[in-house]
A and B are shown apart, each in its own frame.
Chain A
Amino acid sequence: GENVEQHPSTLSVQEGDSAVIKCTYSDSASNYFPWYKQELGKRPQLIIDIRSNVGEKKDQRIAVTLNKTAKHFSLHITETQPEDSAVYFCAPTQGVWSGGGADGLTFGKGTHLIIQP
């Protein structure tokens, strides 16, 4: 199965600064790389994802970059705001379009992002 590690486990940044969270994985068959955000007391929700045929994807202040050779991908948040405070999870997997999805997602243990005012 997939071995997933996230770093750091806790990240504290000043409001307005950038934050970067890294996810490493072991399964070379993984080709879909999502990030989920979970606010305190809420459910996890997908915020951005990338497929292996793309090296980077941006959506306003968030971006995901992929290094498939090194088997890691990162979540980048620029101009951080108080509402970015949450736990972020990565869940690399084989996308269902390529024959994956036969089993469950393996999530990283999460990164607690704290935005200091």
Chain B
Amino acid sequence: NAGVTQTPKFQVLKTGQSMTLQCAQDMNHEYMSWYRQDPGMGLRLIHYSVGAGITDQGEVPNGYNVSRSTTEDFPLRLLSAAPSQTSVYFCASRAQSNTGELFFGEGSRLTVL
């Protein structure tokens, strides 16, 4: 199993550009989520999904869109990047059983100029 795979690992954007961060998991996890990590702010939830076709907003959803067309994939879209979206982004998944341990991807470092 590859676990949770995120691409790209690094990206530089100009203000106003759009891009998609990809996330895929091969553990058949129902739950997937996106977090952003900023210095001193911990991990803040952007969007999450409890299954294909179902998404919901987290703590900081503004400026981001998500969709969940398959169990495996959960892309995060920035429609018009802003410097405030400079951050490290983590995708995480878990099974809807047992405790719910989160499995994280390696992270994507995004810089918006």
Measuring CB to CB, which residues of chain A are less than 8 angstroms from any residue of chain B? 9, 32, 34, 36, 42-46, 49, 51, 89, 91, 93, 95-97, 100-110
Cβ of B45 < 8 Å from any Cβ of A? yes
**In contact, A107 and B100 (Cβ under 8 angstroms):** no
A32-B100, A46-B101, A49-B101 as given contacts; A101 in contact with B94, CB under 8 Å = yes
Given contacts A95-B98, A103-B56, 4 further A-B contacts (CB under 8 A): A36-B102, A51-B99, A104-B48, A105-B102
Q: Which of B51-104 contact A (CB under 8 A)?
A: 56, 58-59, 90, 94-102, 104
Q: Chain B interface residue count: which class?
A: 20 to 34
Contact of A104 among B40, B45, B97 (CB under 8 A): B45
Contact of B58 among A34, A45, A104 (CB under 8 A): A104
CA distance A32 to B97 in the complex (A): 13
